[in-house]
Amino acid sequence: MSVIAAPRLRGKDLVGIDPLSPGEIQLILDTAEHMKAIAARPIKKVPALRGKTVVNFFMEASTRTRFSFEVAEKRLSADTLNFSASGTSVSKGETLLDTALNLEAMQPDFLVIRHACPGTPHQLARVLKSAVINAGDGAHEHPTQALLDALTIRERRGTLEGQVVTIIGDIQHSRVVRSNILLLSRMGARVRVCAPPSLMPIGIEALGCEAHRRVEDAIPGADVVMMLRIQFERQGRMNFPTGREFFDLFALTPDRLKLARKNALVMHPGPMNRGVEIDSRVADGPQSVILEQVTNGVAVRMAVLYLLAGGHGEPTAD
């Protein structure tokens, strides 16, 4: 299977990986490679989105993703507005529809939304004319994260096809894992997920992966080991006993990493809980590409904005 890039994105929005075809994913990754070149220039800016307005609407705490989008927007010369709060439309005292219509009244071209409630980007995309980009909706999807992960794997490995990617941690509460399973399986990679059964959602296999309950079964033969953040803020006290025990049973340690393919990549979407899901020796070791993921995040978000604005090929300088 070799995937041919689509000529353009079909939808007005990027609400998830789920609506994307393999060709569209390929197009975004190819475009992101061009975008990376811009960051290497002395003047890291192109006029592609000059005169366009982007609203970064973050209803849930985020530093990395918000900054990454903002850098991407600025490098494309867009005007940006930032709104950060936490909670729901109710806690702001208005309906979601009112929130959407108020934003629309400012006539933005893009709405980048992060929200704790799954499906909020979809609900907004239905009523807004602007392009809606999902920057993470609850435990549902985080499409630009999966795209940047894919870009990182593709750069290092040359292809996604046939790669064995093991994703370990809090699968239940992770939007990163859902988007990654959908993307990687669509692009011909083999995905394994691993979590204590108390953090493994029912029917996850249907998204396109194998499910394991022991790290020792999930890692052997892996080309990539991706650790997920244990989201203590989303846990009750019943999903697993302690961070200490989680480390004992599930953390990526140097010994466990040895079970993977030689030179397997170590990835983490951040922020890391060192000493809970990942051993610092691994996080900072030679196989770690965790900071490359962050760099690639900017390129992927530039690509998504550029393509949704109707761009194609390589953006030109002034």
Partner 1 sequence: MSRLLIRHARVVDPAQRLDVGRDILVVDGVIAKLAERIDDPAAEVIDAAGLIAAPGFIDAHVHLREPGFEYKETVASGAAAAVAGGFTAVCCMANTVPVNDNAAVTEFIRGRAAAAGLARVYPIGAVSKGLGGDSLAEMGEMFRAGAVAFSDDGKPVSNSQLMRKALEYAQIFPAPVIDHCEDANLAGQGVMHEGAVATRLGLRGIPAAAEEVAVVRDIILAQLTGGHVHIAHLSTAGALDRVREGKGAGIRVTCEVTPHHLALTDELVAVTEYDTNTKMNPPLRDAAHVEALIHGVLDGTVDCLATDHAPHHADEKALEFDVAPFGIVGLESAIPVTYNLLVVKHKMPLTRFVALWSANPARVFHLPGGTLKPGSPADITLIDPEARLAVNPERFQSLSRNTPFAGQRLKGWPAATIVAGRVVWRRER
Contact predicate 28/47, CB 8 Å: no
Residue closer to partner 1 (CB basis): 43 or 206: 206
Alpha-carbon gap, residue 221 to 209, rounded angstroms:
15
Write the binding mask 199 to 238 for partner 1: x where contact by CB under 8 A, - elsewhere: --xxxx-xx----------------------------x--
Provide the β-strand partners of residue 278. Answer: 252, 274
User: At its nearest, how many Å lie between partner 1 and the CB of residue 203?
Assistant: 3
Per-residue binder mask for partner 1 (CB under 8 A), 125-164, x = binder: -x----------xxxxx-----------------------
Q: Of 75, 175, 229, 301, which one interacts with partner 1 (CB under 8 A)? A: 175
CB nearer partner 1, residue 28 or residue 200: 200
The structure tokens listed for 285 are 């070791």
Going by C-alpha positions, the residue among 269, 264, 266 that lies closest to residue 297 is: 269
Three-state DSSP at 190 gives: strand
Q: Would you state the structure tokens that stand for residue 24, as one six-digit string? A: 């569209």
CA angle 135, 230, 63 (to 5 degrees): 35
Instruction: Give, as ranges, the residues between 12 and 51 that touch partner 1 (CB under 8 A).
Output: 18
Angle between helices 96-105 and 120-127 (to 10 degrees): 50
Give the shortest CB-129-to-partner 1 separation in angstroms.
Answer: 17
Of 228, 218, 143, 157, the residue nearest 189 (C-alpha)? 157
One symbol per residue from 70 to 109: x for binding partner 1 (CB under 8 A), - otherwise; what is it? Answer: ------------------xxx----xxxx-----------
Please, which residue, 5 or 207, has the CB nearer to partner 1? 207
Side-chain-side CA neighbours of 272 within 13 Å: the count stands at 22
| Distance in angstroms (rounded) separating the CA atoms of residues 170 and 181 | 14
How far is 105 from 307, CA to CA, in rounded Å? 24
**Nearest CB to partner 1, comparing residues 177 and 224:** 177
Least distance (Å) from partner 1 to the CB of residue 90? 5
Residue closer to partner 1 (CB basis): 26 or 179: 179
Residues that bind partner 1 (CB under 8 A): 18, 88-90, 95-98, 115-120, 122-123, 126, 137-141, 175, 178, 201-204, 206-207, 236
